[in-house]
Amino acid sequence: MSSRTIPLNDGNTIPWLAFGTGTALYSKDATKATLAAISAGFVHLDGAQMYGNEETLGDAIVQSGVPRSSLFVTTKLAAVPDGRDVRFTLEESLRKLKTDYVDLFLIHNPKQHPDLKGTWKQLEALKEAGLTRSIGVSNFTVKHLETILEVATIKPAAIQNEYHPYVAKASKAVRAFAKEHNIVYVSYGGLTPVARFPNGPVTPALQRAAKRLTEQTGKQVTTGQVLQVWLRQQDIVAVRLSRYAPTASTSNKPERLQEYLDSQTIPDLTEEELKDIETEGAKVHHRVYMKWLDEESS
């Protein structure tokens, strides 16, 4: 089972590696893929109201037979329907997920919540009520974090943003702010340099590191695993998305899932390799999701 964890600022812990049910599973039946992930050893399952598949994620949780207490389930708040409140949406999610609580509940997109302070206070109440163990945000800039911290009595435990070498430079301010406030950073789209831009400037740096680690361990280390280790060394939680695999048709096969899980035990990158990836990644900028973030201070 996935074992590496990172402490959160509220006393809870979060598994470092997560299986995401967005992207290729968006609005699709996630049962089979999630069952395969749990069977392979994933315990952190990352969902969202916006993905439109919470019900099948819940089916997989039940069918897996794994005790609920052994799993870490994340979901994310979409826009709140007129006449409803945040609690209503989370209770709907819990019904679909077939659980009494989630481990982490995130505001998915600040632009969907004009009264961001009011929304955050509602999340705090849900944590106090035990419907979620931890609360946090996603796709936030420093400005958005500052807004909720003006009223917060409970700080966000985590912030989930797109993060990989091609957005690392643009993310420095929000990364630094999160670190200052002891907010754990969670990456989605972390394999973008392998899956979306395989011939970019960071590719040779990844290949060099993969070759060195393969020789050191005696086992084949892929460039995707190097990216996972790169995130791990920064204490950044990695959400693994179905689309981000060398071949999408095999992304949920046991061997492909195991490749991701094996990144937990691969030795660290050297300081030179970390610098190499950072330097090469900074040469271009590629953001795949929430491109409006490039127009605001992030």
User: Which residues are annotated as part of the binding site for substrate?
Assistant: 108
Q: List the catalytic residue out of 26, 51, 188, 260.
A: 51
- Residue 134 CA to residue 132 CA, distance in Å, equals 6
Sequence-ordered strand ranges (E) for 163-236 = 184-188
**In the annotation, is 163 catalytic?**
no
What b-and-e string marks burial along 110-133, b requiring 16 or more CB atoms within 10 Å of the CB?
Answer: beebeebeebbbbbbebbeeebbb
Instruction: Tally DSSP H helices, then E strands, for the chain.
Output: 11, 10
DSSP run (H or E) holding 44: strand 44-46
Annotated binding site, which residues? 108
Distance in angstroms (rounded) separating the CA atoms of residues 36 and 209: 29
Alpha-carbon gap, residue 253 to 287, rounded angstroms = 28
Residues involved in catalysis: 51
